[in-house]
Amino acid sequence: MTRRVFRYVPFTIEQDRTAEPEYEARCVSGDETECGAQSGTYRHPGPVEEWQRRHAQETRHLRYRRNFGDYAVMRPPAELAALLSGSGGTV
Ligand SMILES: [Zn+2]
């Protein structure tokens, strides 16, 4: 049995620009039960805020749960990236 030793690698974390982020909101107004109305998912916060304003105007509901999602990519430091790309040498 071999034991693998993982050394600390100082990855940087970047937003994946090739994948669109997602914005959405859900109405959580209401005393006993939440209203639960949903904005739907959008690529930008603008349409979600507009939906909130419209919903608030129609219902006087003032409290919302907002979700934001995006994708992240781990980037190794330059010297390790060279090793991982297999440009000669063993790790
Ligand atoms: Zn509502």
Distance 11 CA to ligand 1 centre (A): 42
The amino acid at residue 19 is A
What is the predicted pLDDT for the residue at 91? 47
> Model confidence over 25-80: pLDDT tens digits?
999 999 889 999 999 999 999 999 999 999 999 999 999 999 999 999 999 888 77
Distance 21 CA to ligand 1 centre (A): 24
Distance 55 CA to ligand 1 centre (A): 6
25 occurs within a structural domain: yes
pLDDT for 87 beyond 70: no
Q: 2 vs 46, which has greater pLDDT?
A: 46
Distance 26 CA to ligand 1 centre (A): 8
pLDDT for 20 beyond 80: yes
89 occurs within a structural domain: no
1 occurs within a structural domain: no
Number of structural domains the chain divides into: 1
Q: 54-68 burial, b for 16+ CB within 10 Å, e for fewer?
A: ebeeeeebeebeeee
Name the DSSP letter for residue 82. Answer: H
Mapping DSSP to helix (H, G, I), strand (E, B) and coil, where does residue 33 land? Answer: coil
- Range(s) of the domain holding residue 65: 18-71
**Helix H or strand E segment including 23:** strand 22-27
Distance 46 CA to ligand 1 centre (A): 18
53 occurs within a structural domain: yes
Mapping DSSP to helix (H, G, I), strand (E, B) and coil, where does residue 35 land? Answer: coil
Question: Based on the number of CB atoms within 10 Å of its own CB, is 37 exposed (0-12), middle (13-18) or buried (19 or more)?
Answer: middle
What is the predicted pLDDT for the residue at 24? 98
